[in-house]
Amino acid sequence: NAGVTQTPKFRILKIGQSMTLQCTQDMNHNYMYWYRQDPGMGLKLIYYSVGAGITDKGEVPNGYNVSRSTTEDFPLRLELAAPSQTSVYFCASSYSVDMNTEAFFGQGTRLTVV
């Protein structure tokens, strides 16, 4: 059971370039999330999704876009990369409407914008 898989693990982008961070889960979870984590800090929610076709903004959505065409996949798109988007990005999923909801995280994508 793979859980949550993120690709790539590392990426260096030039200012103004774009890229898509891939996230897929094989647990049939309805909730999926994208977080960013700056050095020495906690998690900030970028976008989340409650199911296929439904997405919503988190705390820090500017400069990012998401889509959720299937239950399994939740890609995060960066358009016009900026140095402020240098961070570690984590994708997570959870199976909701249960009091013991647990979030499962991917290994993270370390992105540097230069």
Partner 1 sequence: TQLLEQSPQFLSIQEGENLTVYCNSSSVFSSLQWYRQEPGEGPVLLVTVVTGGEVKKLKRLTFQFGDARKDSSLHITAAQPGDTGLYLCAGAHDLNAGGTSYGKLTFGQGTILTVHP
Measure the CA angle with vertex 108, ends 30 and 18; round to 5°: 90
Residue with Cβ nearer partner 1 (4 or 81): 4
Q: Which stretch binds partner 1 (CB under 8 A): 18-26, 65-73, 78-86, 100-108?
A: 100-108
- Using the 8-state DSSP alphabet, how is residue 95 labeled? -
Binding mask 14-33 for partner 1 (x = CB under 8 A): -----------------x-x
The answer to whether residues 86 and 95 touch, using CB atoms and an 8 Å cutoff, is no
- The least distance separating partner 1 from the CB of residue 39, rounded to whole angstroms, comes to 10
Q: How many CB atoms lie within 10 A of CB 64?
A: 19
Count of positions (residues) in the chain: 114
- C-alpha closest to that of 86 among 47, 39, 43: 39
Binding mask 38-77 for partner 1 (x = CB under 8 A): --xxxxxx--x-x---x-x---------------------
Pick from 46, 1, 6: nearest CA to 24: 6
Of residues 14 and 99, the one with the C-beta less far from partner 1:
99
Q: Which residues bind partner 1 (CB under 8 A)?
A: 4, 31, 33, 35, 40-45, 48, 50, 54, 56, 90, 92, 94, 96-103, 105-108
